[in-house]
Amino acid sequence: MNDFAITGLLLVSLLLILGSGVWVGLTLTGVAWLAVTLFSSRPAGDAMAVTVWGSSSSWTLTALPLFVWMGEILFRTRLSADMFKGLSPWVQSLPGRLLHTNVIGCTIFAAVSGSSAAACATIGKMTLPELSQRGYPEHMVIGTLSGSSTLGLLIPPSIITIVYGVAAEVSISKLFIAGVFPGILLAALFSGYIIFWALRHPEQVPAAERSYSLREKLSASGSLIPVVVLILSVLGSIYAGIATATEAAAVGVVGSMVISGLQGSLNWATFRDALMGATRLYCMIALILAGAAFLTLSMGYVGLPRHLAEWIATLGLSQPQLIFALACFFILLGCFLDGISMVVLTMGVLMPTVNAAGIDPIWFGIFVVLVVEMAQITPPVGFNLFVLQGMTGKQLTWIAKVTMPMFFLMCLAVALIYIFPDIVSWLPRQMGQ
């Protein structure tokens, strides 16, 4: 059979198994088993056992459950309420006023959770009723929250960044640091859009509640100091080379427990719920990673990645054309798959092509995360859209419509990091010096 026939058969198998309701991780394992059994002389059982164990026992991967656990602990604290109280006095004088709490709140929470859906649910739980009660337009409240919550995927410690680092065999510490400036850039674009909208529609922005003195602003922000210290400790230890990503994650877990204890939120029930929540999420991710590792190996046995890379090479695409084609591919794929599945399914096939095109794998990782962020707010499988639908009761299509400006701002961010690659690569280069 030729490559197209093999690819078609495996894609049909993938869709059929997924459509029958089988978990993503088991689906990937099943398709890999078919590929090895039908199109290779290798023993499928031995290959699967070795690969699954090897992918699951990676020391690098230890950072993932620890960061997930840190996010789960902080999810059960008063962090969202404290952030709204601490941030609102500072943004009263900006055009758009309290709408900026969505962007800044999600940016801060992203730096402690690593999850887009968690940022959306946690910050939305606080800002949606507060902003609606104060008379802010519903489409701006929901749209800015939906877009801003995707920062959970980009700003370290990002779960999907760890997944990419493991799949592409790239330094997770450098990926974390590489995501800092693009994350700040994207947050600035979101806030810039709010300012632009507010200047065009001043009549739709409620008046400032009152003016705050500097002393009052600092006093209101006091509750945010422990979280900021935690973020700086985790990222600073990685950047300074004091700790690996895994060691920094352990520091983050201990720090989040201390913060939770100081707030009075840490008890046996919240500890158990956080631990079980982290365990469930990580088991799901680990199963997907194990299945993807076996699928990647099976594709190598069949020879599809090599043939694909050779085919792309024959197309004679320039680097910008390749980046544009990959962006469209990931956005389309994101209409049907979640971000983690997208990354683990494609990296084994795409990385040889990316390396051959001379694209920096660190830069490509941030590019992939940005494009996956777009997929989080594109129907029909935009996770953030589902979270907001559950919280607001609005139609999915309406939420997608009001989120569209954020989608285009993400496209602009991708263009900017391509034109100015140092936005991504400058900080990682400093780590190596």
pLDDT digits 0-9 by tens, 65-94: 887 788 788 777 777 667 777 888 888 888
Supply the pLDDT for residue 114. 67
Instruction: Indicate the pLDDT class of residue 432, thresholds 50, 70 and 90.
Output: low
Supply the pLDDT for residue 212. 75
∠ CA 290-292-297 to the nearest 5 degrees? Answer: 100
DSSP H or E stretch at residue 297: helix 268-302
Domain assignments of the chain as residue spans, ordered by start: 43-431
Greater confidence, 423 or 13?
423
Most confident region among 6-20, 181-195, 218-232, 260-274 by mean pLDDT: 181-195
Is the Cβ–Cβ distance between 51 and 293 less than 8 Å? yes
Greater confidence, 12 or 366?
366
Q: Report the amino acid identity of residue 197.
A: W
Residue 316, phi then psi, degrees to nearest 5? 70, 35
Greater confidence, 10 or 176?
176
Q: Assess whether pLDDT exceeds 80 at residue 126.
A: no
Instruction: Indicate the pLDDT class of residue 417, thresholds 50, 70 and 90.
Output: very high
pLDDT digits 0-9 by tens, 283-332: 877 787 788 778 777 877 777 666 666 676 677 778 888 898 888 888 87
Is the overall model pTM greater than 0.85, yes or no? no
Greater confidence, 85 or 363?
363
DSSP H or E stretch at residue 226: helix 225-239
Q: For residues 352-364, give the mean pLDDT.
A: 87
Supply the pLDDT for residue 109. 77
- Within 108-191, strands assigned E span none
Greater confidence, 94 or 340?
94
Supply the pLDDT for residue 228. 81
Helix, strand, coil abundance in the chain, percent, nearest 5: 80, 0, 20
In whole angstroms, give the CA distance from residue 374 to residue 382.
9
Residues 6+ apart with CB under 8 A from 195: 94, 95, 96
Supply the pLDDT for residue 184. 92
Supply the pLDDT for residue 366. 93
Supply the pLDDT for residue 171. 86
Q: For residues 339-348, give the mean pLDDT.
A: 76
pLDDT digits 0-9 by tens, 381-414: 666 777 787 778 788 788 889 999 999 999 999 9
